[in-house]
């Protein structure tokens, strides 16, 4: 009997430990469910949109071309899931194709993963060129393929337990739109992913550069300013906001004396002048671009109107025949008299 009680006691302790572990896991998953990002995959358009929770709202922040499954046993399941464990490199196997590999992976459900386009070998230079060019089409065995840059973004930013919703809908359900496809023009069957940020990538030039948008600006003398205000940058491959990576690279001032732009340390609004500012973006994926912006500092005070020369006292003024008064320079037209006095109105310069 004692052995039986001991066994029951031991089982009870194990059960309590397991219950506590499951409670902690459930709590961690619950917290993860309320994480920063929510991924939505539109199978019809093959676009994954990442939403960020900000200001009590889910706002779309990144659009990613993806490749979902085809039909039948290769279909990607619709529904709501929560991402599981991650792998830097994942080894996959199918009876039809044998072994293949992928970078920056996150488990979704069953044998479905989010991962980069597949590789023939676990090496950056051995990605399937054709499979990369299929991004934006349905062609996978059920997994959700992304470019390396996008897969790495999900891997780095979306914690275990991130909510992912998979559905079939119109392009209206892709709020940022569908990014343009980057074509890998390599003639090799296997090559580097053009978006791979790893050093030594010979195909990185195929990836479009960031885009900086801004407009010329006019500042009043003495005005306060922020050189980065109204300057934005995006990744054209995903519409991701890169504004935080913008830096002021150079400030130049126009010299009338020398007839050329002179580099200066800062922009000053103490005096009227013409400036141009060079902005620079170096994004996390190794791409960079720059753009100039013109800024004019001006004096808002209108120029004073020129007054007429006073009449020489020695010569005298011309007499108005109708009133006998003297018409001094700067007065209104002759004959316009003050109704109360009958005399000519004098001393006013310019119009009323």
Query: Which residues, in sequence order, are CB contacts of 152 under 8 Å at separation 6+?
Result: 103, 104, 116, 197
Exposed/middle/buried for residue 221 (C-beta within 10 Å: 0-12, 13-18, 19+) = middle
Residue for token pair 């676990």: 122
Span 211-298 CATH architecture: Sandwich (2.60)
Q: Work out the average pLDDT over 125-136.
A: 97
- Band of pLDDT at residue 4, cut at 50, 70 and 90: very low
Task: Tell me if the pTM is above 0.85.
Answer: no
Amino acid 325: pLDDT:
44
Q: What are 227-278's pLDDT values in tens digits?
A: 999 999 999 989 999 999 999 999 999 999 999 999 999 999 999 999 999 9
Q: What are 165-189's pLDDT values in tens digits?
A: 999 999 999 999 999 999 999 999 9
DSSP class of residue 173?
G
Closest CA to 59 of 214, 192, 175, 223: 175
Query: Which residues, in sequence order, are CB contacts of 97 under 8 Å at separation 6+?
Result: 141
Give the range among 6-20, 90-104, 142-156, 238-252 with minimum mean pLDDT. Answer: 6-20
Pairwise CA distance, residues 108 & 162, whole Å: 10
Span 37-203 CATH architecture: Beta Barrel (2.40)
Amino acid 312: pLDDT:
55
Residue extent(s) of CATH 2.40.440.10 domains in the chain: 37-203
Q: What percent of the chain has pLDDT over 70?
A: 77
Query: Which residues, in sequence order, are CB contacts of 235 under 8 Å at separation 6+?
Result: 210, 242, 283, 285
Query: Which residues, in sequence order, are CB contacts of 49 under 8 Å at separation 6+?
Result: 39, 40, 42, 60, 62, 63, 64, 174, 175, 176
Question: Is pLDDT of 340 > 60?
Answer: no
Pairwise CA distance, residues 47 & 62, whole Å: 10
Residue for token pair 């599981």: 84
What phi, psi does 238 have (nearest 5°)? -145, 0
Pairwise CA distance, residues 119 & 128, whole Å: 6
- Band of pLDDT at residue 331, cut at 50, 70 and 90: very low
Amino acid 311: pLDDT:
56
Q: What are 303-318's pLDDT values in tens digits?
A: 776 656 555 555 444 4
Rounded mean pLDDT of the chain? 83
Residue extent(s) of CATH 2.60.40.10 domains in the chain: 211-298
Cβ-contact 118, 105 below 8 angstroms: no
Q: What are 41-100's pLDDT values in tens digits?
A: 999 999 999 999 988 899 999 999 999 999 999 999 999 999 999 999 999 987 777 899
Pairwise CA distance, residues 43 & 186, whole Å: 28
Residue for token pair 């990369």: 132
Pairwise CA distance, residues 259 & 272, whole Å: 16
Q: Work out the average pLDDT over 132-142.
A: 96
């Amino acid at each position: 009997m004692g052995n039986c009680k001991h066994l029951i006691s031991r089982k009870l302790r194990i059960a309590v430990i397991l219950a506590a572990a499951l409670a902690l896991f459930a709590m961690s998953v619950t917290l993860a469910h309320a994480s920063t990002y929510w991924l939505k995959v539109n199978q019809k358009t093959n676009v994954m949109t990442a939403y960020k929770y900000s200001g009590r709202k889910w706002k779309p922040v990144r659009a990613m071309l993806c490749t979902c499954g085809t039909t039948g046993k290769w279909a990607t399941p619709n529904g709501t899931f929560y991402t599981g464990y991650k792998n830097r490199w994942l080894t996959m196997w199918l009876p039809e194709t044998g072994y293949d590999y992928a970078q920056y992976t996150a488990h979704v459900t069953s044998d479905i993963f989010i991962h980069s386009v597949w590789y023939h070998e676990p090496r950056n230079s051995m990605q399937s060129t054709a499979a990369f060019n299929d991004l934006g089409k349905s062609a996978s065995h059920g997994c959700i393929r992304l470019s390396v840059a996008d897969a790495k973004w999900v891997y780095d930013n979306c914690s275990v337990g991130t909510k992912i919703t998979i559905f079939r809908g119109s392009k209206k359900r892709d709020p940022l739109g569908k990014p343009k496809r980057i074509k890998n023009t390599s003639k090799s069957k296997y090559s580097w992913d053009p978006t791979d940020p790893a050093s030594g990538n010979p195909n990185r030039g195929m990836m479009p550069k960031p885009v900086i948008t801004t407009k010329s600006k006019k500042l009043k003398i003495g005005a306060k300013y922020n050189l980065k205000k109204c300057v934005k940058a995006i990744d054209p491959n995903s519409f991701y906001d890169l504004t935080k990576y913008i830096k002021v690279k150079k400030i130049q001032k126009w010299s009338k004396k020398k007839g050329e732009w002179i580099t200066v340390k800062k922009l000053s609004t103490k005096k009227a002048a013409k400036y141009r500012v060079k902005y620079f973006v170096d994004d996390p994926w190794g791409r960079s671009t720059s753009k100039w912006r013109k800024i004019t500092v001006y004096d808002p005070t209108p120029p004073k109107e020129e007054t007429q020369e006073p009449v020489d006292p020695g010569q005298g003024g011309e007499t108005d025949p109708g009133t006998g008064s003297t018409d001094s320079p700067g007065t209104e037209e002759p004959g316009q008299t003050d109704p109360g006095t009958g005399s000519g109105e004098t001393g006013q310069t310019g119009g009323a």
